[in-house]
Structure 1
Amino acid sequence: MGRRRRALPPVAAAALRVNVIRLYKAFQLCNGLLWWLPIFYLYQRDIGLSDQEIFGIQAIYYVAFCLLDVPTGALADRFDYRRFLQLGAITITIANLVPVFVQNYWGMLSHFLLIALAYSFTSGAGSAYLYEYLHRTGRDDEYKNAEGGARAYSLIGRVVCLPAAGVLMQWHATSPYLLSAAATLVALFFALRLPPLPPGEHRHEQIAVTRAWRVLRASPLLALLMVQGVAIFTLVRILQANLFQPVLDAKHLPVAGFGVLMAVTTLFEAAGAARPGLLRRKVSDLRAVFLLTVVMAVCLALLVPLGIVGVVVCLCVFSLASGLSFPVQRQLVNDAITDPRSRATLLSMESLIDRAVCSLVIFALGGYLSRGAMNDFLLHAAIGTVLLMAVVATTIHLVRTKERSR
C-alpha cells in the first residue's frame, strides 16, 4: 500500500493555497503574453503570404482546435491537470519559435497548428486544476476571484505588450515572436512548481468522454450555462479579434491609435476580471451574467450610429462587461458540474462549442463584409444575442421550476 499523505495544519494549508493561486495567476500571465497578436497579420503579409492564405490558415486553426480540444481534455481528466499545463507551455514555446526560423506558408501553418494543440492542452485543464484544488480544500468560494484575478493578470500583460508590438516589429521583425517564446518558457517554470491536487473523493480511472456526455445529458442546467458562455465568447472574439480594426477604420481613427486603444480596452477588461463580485450585492451571479451579456450586445449595436468618441466609450464598456462576466460564468459552469472526474473534459467541450460557433459566425461575417454590410452584421448580432439570452433565461427558469417540483 502507498503511503497516505498527512493532512497539513490549517495555517500551512492556507499558505499553500495562496501560493497555488499565485502560481496559477503567474502561469496565465506568461502563457497568454503573446507579443505578436497585434502584428501577426502584417508579419505574414511581409513574408509573402496572400490574404487568402492568411485567412485559410485561420480556418484550419479553428478546425484543428475543435478536433483536439475534447480528446486532450479527456486525457487531462485521466492523468494529471498539471502535466497538461506543462505540455501546453512547452508546445506554445515551440510554436512561437517556428515563425522565426520558417518564414513561409508552411511555417505559419505549423505555427498555428501548434498554437491550437497548446491551447487544447490548457483550455480545460487550467480551470479544472484551480477549481478542483480549491474544492478539495473546502474553499470553493475563492474560485471566482482567483480565476478572475488570473484573467486580469493575463490582460494586464497584454496592456503592457500590445502598444509596443508595432515598434518592436519595426526594430526587428521577429522580436515579438522571440519575446513570446521567452514569456511562455517562464510559464513552463510556474507550471512545474504547481503542487499535486490534495486527496479527493474521485480518482481519474478512465477516459472521461462518455462519462462527461452522460453528465451533460443529465444536467440541462449545465448545458444551458454553456450556451450562455458561448454567447459571451463569440461576442468578445468577433469584436476584439475580427471587427476591431474594421470598426475603427470606418470611424477614421488613425492606424497608429489602434494598438493604444486596444491596450485601453484591455485595461477595462482586466479591471472587470479583477472584480467579478462587483454586482453580487445587487443581483445573483446568474442574473448578472445575463445582464452583462445584454449590455455587451447593446454596445455592439451602438457602434453603428455613434461617432469615434462614442465608439471608444462603447468599446470600453463592452470590455468592462466582458471582464466582469467571464469569471462569474466559469464559476457557474464549474458549480453545475456534478462529477468532477469529467471537469476538464466538460470545460473542453464548452471551449470546442465556443470555437465552432465562432467559426460559423466568422463565415457569416465574411459574407456581410463582402457586401459592405458591416453595420447590418453588428445590428443582427446584437439582436440575435438578446433573443438568445431571453430564450436561455426562460428555459433555465422552467428547468429550475421543474426540479423544485420533484
Structure 2
Amino acid sequence: MNRKIGIPLFCATAFLQGMVFYGPIATLYRQARGVSVFQITLIESISLACLIALEIPWGYVADRIGYRRTLAACNVLYFLSKIVFWRAEGFGGFLLERLMLSAVLSGLSGCDSAYLFSLAGEGESQKAFGAYEASATAGLVAASLLFSTAVGGDFDAAGFLTVLSYGAAMVLTFFLPEVPPPARRSAGFGTRAGEAAREVWDNRRFLLFLAAAALLTESNQTITVFLSQLQYVRGGGGARRAELAL
C-alpha cells in the first residue's frame, strides 16, 4: 500500500517543485529587483558554502526524526523560500532566499533518494528513480511553456505562480506514507562529525575531486541559468519582453 500511494505522491511533488515559472527569466527577475550580476554570483558562492556546511547536521537530524519528517520540514522551508524570493528586493532579500534554499537542498540531499528507495524496494528502485526525475523535468518544461504562452513576461506573476506550485507540493508532502526509519547510530553529533573530519583528512585527494566537482557544477549552474539569459537578450531574443518587464 505504501508503494502504491507513496511513489505517485512523491512524483507529483517533484513535478510541482519542477514548476519554477521564473526559470526562463531568473537573471532578469533579479536585475529588475535591484541585484547585479556580480551580486548574483556572490550569492551563489555563499549559498554553495552553506549547503556544504549543512550536509552533516542535516544527516544527523534525518537519523533522529526519520525521512518523512525531514522531507516535510524541508518542503515547508522550500515553500517559505519561494515567498521570500517573490517579495525580495535587493541583495539582502535574495541572499536570505538563497540561504534558506541551501538549508533545504542540504536537507533533501540523500534523504529524498533514501525515502524513495524505501518505498520502491531494491527491485523497483531504478524504475521509481526514473519516474521521479522525469516528473521533475516535466514540471520544468511545463512551467517554461506556460511562462511563454500564458504569463507573458509578467515577472511578479511568475514569482507568485511558483509560490502556489511549491505550496501545493508542500501540502502533498504531508500525505506521504511512513517508511521504516533509518538505523540510528549510538554516537552523538560531535563524535560523528569528528569521524567525518578524519575520513576527509585521510582521503585528501578525494576531497580535491569533490571540490572540483562542486566547482564544475556551480560553474555550469551560473553559465546555463544566469549568464546565458543575458546573452539571449543581447542577441535580440525576447528583448522587447525584457525591456517591458524591466
TM-score range, shorter chain: 0.7 to 0.9
Select 1:123's aligned residue among 92, 96, 109: 109
Give the Cα separation in 1 of the matches to 2:33 and 2:137: 29
TM-score (norm 1): 0.49
Residue 55 (structure 1) aligns with: 41
Q: Is the counterpart of residue 84 in structure 1 residue 70 in structure 2? A: yes
Q: Is the counterpart of residue 141 in structure 1 residue 123 in structure 2? A: yes
Amino acid at match of 2:29: Y
Give the Cα separation in 2 of the matches to 1:107 and 1:244: 19
Give the Cα separation in 1 of the matches to 2:144 and 2:220: 17
Matches within 5 A, 1:12-23: 15-23=1-9
Matches within 5 A, 1:318-357: none
Contact 2:11 2:132 in 1 (8 A): yes
Q: Is the counterpart of residue 197 in structure 1 residue 179 in structure 2? A: yes
Matches within 5 A, 1:7-406: 15-134=1-120, 139-165=121-147, 171-198=153-180, 202-203=183-184, 207=188, 210=191, 238-239=219-220, 241-243=222-224, 256=237
Give the Cα separation in 2 of the matches to 1:87 and 1:199: 16
Give the Cα separation in 2 of the matches to 1:27 and 1:187: 5
1:163 CA displacement: 3.8
Higher relative contact order (CA closer than 8 Å, sequence separation 6+): 2
Report the RMSD for the aligned CA atoms in angstroms. 3.8
- Write the deviation string for residues 112-157 of structure 1: whole angstroms up to 9, x where unpaired: 11111122221221112122344xxxx3121122112101100011
Contact 1:79 1:204 in 2 (8 A): no
Contact 1:93 1:185 in 2 (8 A): yes
- Structure 1 residues 239 and 105: alpha-carbon distance in aligned structure 2, compared to 1, 3 A threshold: closer
- Structure 1 residues 28 and 216: alpha-carbon distance in aligned structure 2, compared to 1, 3 A threshold: farther
- Structure 1 residues 78 and 209: alpha-carbon distance in aligned structure 2, compared to 1, 3 A threshold: farther
Unpaired segments ≥5 residues, structure 1 = 1-14, 219-223, 258-406
Give the Cα separation in 1 of the matches to 2:193 and 2:16: 30
TM-score (norm 2): 0.76
User: Equivalent pairs: percent with the same residue?
Assistant: 24
- Write the deviation string for residues 88-117 of structure 1: whole angstroms up to 9, x where unpaired: 111111111113333222111111111111
- Describe the SS at the equivalent of 1:58: helix
Contact 1:57 1:109 in 2 (8 A): yes
1:227 CA displacement: 9.5
- Structure 1 residues 80 and 63: alpha-carbon distance in aligned structure 2, compared to 1, 3 A threshold: same
Count residues in correspondence.
234
